[in-house]
Amino acid sequence: MFSLAAASSPAASRAAVAVAVAVAVATSPLHLSNLLSTKISRSSYRQASLCCINIRSCSSRSSPRCVKAMAADAEIVSLPMTESHSSASRKKQALISLSDKCDLAFLGRGLHELGYTIVSTGGTANTLEAAGLPVTKVEELTSLPEMLDGRVKTLHPSIHGGILARRDQCHHMEALDKHGIGTFDVVVVNLYPFYEKVTAGGNIEFDDGIENIDIGGPAMIRAAAKNHKDVLVVVDSEDYPALLEFLKGSNEDQQFRRKLAWKAFQHCASYDSAVSEWLWRQTGGETIPPDFTIPLSLKSSLRYGENPHQKAAFYVDKRLAEVNAGGIATAVQHHGKEMSYNNYLDADAAWNCVSEFRSPTCVIVKHTNPCGVASRGDVLEAYRLAVKADPVSAFGGIVAFNVEVDENLAREIREYRSPTDGETRMFYEIVVAPKYSEKGLEVLRGKSKTLRILEASKNEREKLSLRQVGGGWLAQDSDGLTPEEIQFNAVSEAQPNESELSDAEFAWLCVKHVKSNAIVIAKNNCMLGMGSGQPNRLESLRIALRKSGEEEVKGAALASDAFFPFAWKDAVEEACESGVSVIAEPGGSIRDKDAIDCCNKYGVSLLFTNVRHFRH
């Protein structure tokens, strides 16, 4: 312990104390609070407190430069100041400014009990005062009222200086003391509800949207996050309990501080992405902008990815374009095991396909490919026909409907036996539909504890589709064309009748959801068979014919996702020989005439759609 005697003059006293403190810091981890417990005479105590203010604000491991500066120039160190703003008496302060005041009273009480002075703005301050908590209003620190309709409240050195000052930098603390600025140890801020405002029903006025862009909030958040070593920043009410627990401890966990800082910057980044997306819309820009940011929000951590050795998670796309746009990401799960990575892919494929049809339809998917599709006025019949298309593939697949699942349909799903043996009860990973009756849900829940039951909204058309490649992303409009929007142009001598044209349109709608190279054979609004994913279109055709059955294929419609590069002794001729009555394809091959001549030879109708449906 050091003992200091009073010097003969104030200047000498200041110099002596400064030198003593410099030596103490250089040779010992003692802080000023320890040093001030030493014996100092009354005449020199005030001078000592003034001289040593920088030691209190610097870490115990002050740099030699800082120590030498204090020892060499006591007059510079002993800056005049009021006692209330000296570092020796610096109080703990928390700055709170919230639009969403969820659990604000809980936070305020916790901070108050821990000895923090709460500084706050406008409505936040009023809410805290209503809860019986003492509050210092921001204008008491800035000596300026809110102005410009609230646009300027906290953009002031008395606020940002107290947030950004580094406690381990002596000149930072000297600057605060010189100007009578206190430090903030905690900053709790969330932002104007821009996202909610611009996504609410109806079109928001441009000026109203602009006024809901927060400026002061992001500035405080970013400042606190940058200086997270000294300032705890919180943007989420879910973190209030953890914050209070942390403040009760040693406050030395830098990882906790870094996580809060990361969350703060991420919060601002998502906010800015919404503003940017909205403003791009206001410019009347193209669907695909020159630059854009995709905000993603973690919905769930998954057990694994496509394979058990791969880690995985599921995120919800928070772009404005996705608000109320439907899809599997926002589906409600009523029952069953947690969704897996592959479950999400398959459910998405099934839901996208079934949503294309207007009549009551059932789609069954396995490994993202529809293996059974049927449309009927009676959805129970549609379900049975979809299973019969490929019962082996349907087992363990995903079954989707575009109509409500009521009690009768639920019982059929629960009890239906596989057509392969008439005994095995069909098993599914997922059932997805737009709606369930109360009894329908009750019956389905009884089928299996693991059966996932999803309720989804139809996907909006013309959304931007994104896909990742190594080092980049591909973006395109979604493939939303329907049969009503294209022309099925007969280019052969034979012309399709009404029934054949209807089957061709049905097959064409199915084939767009099958992986390329894709062939679908259909009759009476029911898929008979499909061939998918073959690098050789002829092999896809042969698979589809085999699945359809030799007798069933006669008089059926065939759809191809792309043109046939060859006709004679290839896919077109084999299709004609099998007995199909109509073929629908995009056309566009340099050998289109061969395909036309081949169909003319066999009396088959050939339709060109001029629309390709590759799916990779």
Residues with a known catalytic role: 226, 367
Q: Which residues face 233 on adjacent strands? A: 187
Q: In what helix (H) or strand (E) does residue 328 lie, and over which residues does it extend?
A: strand 327-335
Give the full edge-to-edge strand order of the sheet including 232-234: 136-137, 117-120, 93-97, 186-189, 232-234
Helix ranges, 134-253 (H): 138-142, 157-164, 170-178, 194-199, 206-211, 216-226, 240-248
Rounded Cα–Cα distance for residues 292 and 280 (Å): 9
The residue written with tokens 């829940």 in the block is 445
Residue ranges of E strands in 24-110: 93-97
Rounded Cα–Cα distance for residues 69 and 62 (Å): 11
State whether residue 27 is helix, strand or coil: helix
Nearest to 36 by CA among 84, 77, 81, 87: 87
Whole-angstrom CA distances from 345 to 146, 212, 348, 353 are 51, 37, 5, 12
End-to-end CA, the chain: 77
Q: In what helix (H) or strand (E) does residue 186 lie, and over which residues does it extend?
A: strand 186-189
- Asked if residues 314 and 299 have their Cβ atoms less than 8 Å apart, the reply is yes
Rounded Cα–Cα distance for residues 223 and 217 (Å): 10
Q: How does DSSP assign 376-443, residue by residue?
A: -SSHHHHHHHHHHH-HHHHTTEEEEESS-B-HHHHHHHHHPBPTTTS-SBP-EEEEEES-B-HHHHHH
DSSP state of 91: P
